[in-house]
């Protein structure tokens, strides 16, 4: 049995890259265009090619290592190995794969579009229906995407005869090499437009403003993208439409601050109301709601109203509304008000209060620490 490893001059455990490198070197040396057209060089070139055909194919190489000879009987290049394999070996697989194998379609998919959608807090809380004007490419109403003047049609290219590509012969060290290139006359389409549509200039589409209708779900946030499938621009040649992506940007609210699906608000109350307790009316996104402040309400105390936050996206339900109490100390005081406070201080034994440092586990700083830690 012929020793193909010896023919290529490689070890039996040679890698595919080593086999390919050895073949390239020997093929250049023994190709008839380089070594001459004598019978010995031609036979040597065939042997090298046959050895590479077997050893470059994993299945054939495995069979050969087990004692079989997968090469076709009678010599030659071996089964499945031809000029295209040699061409790709020297010029790369991309040369063969990139060759034009037929006309390219004139109709191509349109591009996607990204549109900014500004929403108020109430719209992201409850959801909203929006009408959005967009400038985009639509199907040409005159030619209906055919790119041709009405009454005419595309004509087969006279240069490539509808193939979309032309072949050129180039000379290399392997001899004459046939290359394929897109047809310059029809730009690879295989057809030409003898009379382009006067409205779209042969594009099959025109620019127009249209309105998109979208139902925005509750719970969207800044950065959320809503996909409108098939609502993008029409492609060249009347091709399929792309998609539209609406990117949500939530406007800042004057009263409420959003954190996730919860809302936060600050309620300013007089010192007397915090001390004595009261019921206040708060204007929420759901209308007026009463807030019950118990006697002795402290500064920074939080009153939570369940279910008055932002809607949960896709899962239903809503977050909560957290009301942060801000106690206002009266200032300035007239004489009568100052006297009343002094009398209160005497009654409470606080006319000369002692300064006491609060425990690290309580007080304003502890609350601030817990808030920053997310507790």
Binding site, by residue number, is 140, 143, 157, 160, 183, 186, 197, 200
Q: What angle in degrees, to the nearest 10, is found between the helix axes of 39-55 and 16-30?
A: 170
Strand 321-328 and strand 262-270: the pairing is parallel
Distance CA 265, CA 307 (A): 15
Query: How many other β-carbons are positioned within 10 Å of the β-carbon of residue 342?
Result: 11
Binding residues for Zn(2+): 140, 143, 157, 160, 183, 186, 197, 200
H-helix or E-strand spanning residue 19: helix 16-30
* Tokens (6 digits) for 92: 């790369």
Give CA angle at 370 (367, 372), nearest 5°.
Answer: 110
DSSP string, 27-85: HHHH-HHHH-S-HHHHHHHHHHHHHHHHHTSHHHHHHHHTT---SPTT-SS-TT--HHH
Give 144's contacts (C-beta < 8 A, 6+ positions apart).
238
349: helix, strand or coil: coil
């Amino acid at each position: 049995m012929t020793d193909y490893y010896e023919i290529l001059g490689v070890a039996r455990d040679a890698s595919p890259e080593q086999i390919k490198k050895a073949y390239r070197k020997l093929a250049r040396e023994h190709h008839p265009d380089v070594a001459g057209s004598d019978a010995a060089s031609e036979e040597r070139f065939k042997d090298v090619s046959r050895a590479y055909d077997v050893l470059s194919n994993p299945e054939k190489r495995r069979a050969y290592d087990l004692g079989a000879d997968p090469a076709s009987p009678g010599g030659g290049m071996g089964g499945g190995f031809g000029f295209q394999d040699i061409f790709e070996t020297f010029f790369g697989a991309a040369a063969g794969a990139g060759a034009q194998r037929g006309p390219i379609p004139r109709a191509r998919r349109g591009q996607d579009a990204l549109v900014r959608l500004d929403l108020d807090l109430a719209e992201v809380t409850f959801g909203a229906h929006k009408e959005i004007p967009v400038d985009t490419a639509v199907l040409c109403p005159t030619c209906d995407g055919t790119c041709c003047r009405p009454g005419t049609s595309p004509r087969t290219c006279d240069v490539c005869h509808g193939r979309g590509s032309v072949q050129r012969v180039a000379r290399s060290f392997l001899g004459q090499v046939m290359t394929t290139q897109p047809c310059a006359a029809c730009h690879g389409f295989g057809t030409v437009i003898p009379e382009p549509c006067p409205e779209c200039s042969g594009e099959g589409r025109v620019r127009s403003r249209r309105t998109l209708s979208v139902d925005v779900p509750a719970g969207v946030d800044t950065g959320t993208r809503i996909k409108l499938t098939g609502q993008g621009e029409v492609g060249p040649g009347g091709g399929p439409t792309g998609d539209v992506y609406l990117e949500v940007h939530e406007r800042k609210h004057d009263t409420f601050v959003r954190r996730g699906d919860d809302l936060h608000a600050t309620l300013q109350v007089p010192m007397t109301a915090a001390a004595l307790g009261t019921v206040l009316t708060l204007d929420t996104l759901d209308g007026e709601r009463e807030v019950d402040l118990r006697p002795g309400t402290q500064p920074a105390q939080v009153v939570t109203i369940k279910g008055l936050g932002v809607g949960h996206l896709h899962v239903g339900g809503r977050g909560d509304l957290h009301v942060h109490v801000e106690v206002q100390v009266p200032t300035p005081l007239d004489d009568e008000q100052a006297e009343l406070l002094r009398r209160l201080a005497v009654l409470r034994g606080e006319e000369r209060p002692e300064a006491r440092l609060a425990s690290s586990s309580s007080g304003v700083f502890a609350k601030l620490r817990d808030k920053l830690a997310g507790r």
